[in-house]
Amino acid sequence: MTYIDPDREAWEVFKSLPRDQPIQMLNLVKVKPQADYPVGHPDHGKGLTGLEAYRAYGRTTAHIFARVGGRQVWAGHPQVMVTGPATEAWDLAFIAEYPTSDAFIAMVRDPEYRKLVAHRTAAVADSRLLRLEPVREPGEGFGE
């Protein structure tokens, strides 16, 4: 089973959590070998890779992300799934931080963002998006 966008139930849970505190969003993304833009989209038929389409998503929405106060706080290149199913290999991994969950909601509801997210939809084969409550003073041991 693949996941591209949140389902309604998960979105309702997201919105029911505290909305006035910083959040971080762990993003794990597997891109398609070839982007799949719909007919009528300016990039349809151009032969872009999924990675190129995902990067177009990032570039074209960066100003909206910044406007709502978002920032990328961590990014890494996934190498091997050490614990977990090997089928869950990811091409991209990053954590985006927002000043509040309302800022994230404002971004995804922005009319320009909703148009530009077509790049993401064309690019993504599978993804995971996990909302995190930042721990500002983590302990020295795992899980603290």
Contacts of 102 (CB under 8 A, 6+ apart): 19, 20
Residue 53 contacts residue 119 (beta carbons within 8 Å): yes
Q: What is the pLDDT of residues 99-115, one digit of tens each?
A: 999 999 999 999 999 99
Q: Is the pLDDT of residue 143 over 80?
A: no
Which pLDDT value is given to residue 142?
80
Q: Which domains does the chain have, with CATH numbers?
A: 31-79+104-135 (3.30.70.100)
Longest distance between any two alpha carbons in the chain, whole Å: 53
Output the six-digit token pair for 23: 């959040």
Which pLDDT value is given to residue 137?
81
Instruction: Give this prediction's pTM.
Output: 0.92
Q: What is the pLDDT of residues 34-82, one digit of tens each?
A: 999 999 999 999 999 999 999 999 999 999 999 999 999 999 999 999 9
One-letter identity of residue 87: T
Residue 19 contacts residue 104 (beta carbons within 8 Å): no
CA distance 98 to 116: 19
Query: What residue has token string 């309302």?
Result: 102
Query: What residue has token string 């091997």?
Result: 80
Output the six-digit token pair for 106: 């404002």
CA distance 110 to 106: 6
- Report the mean per-residue pLDDT for the chain: 95
At 139, the pLDDT band (50, 70, 90 cuts) reads confident
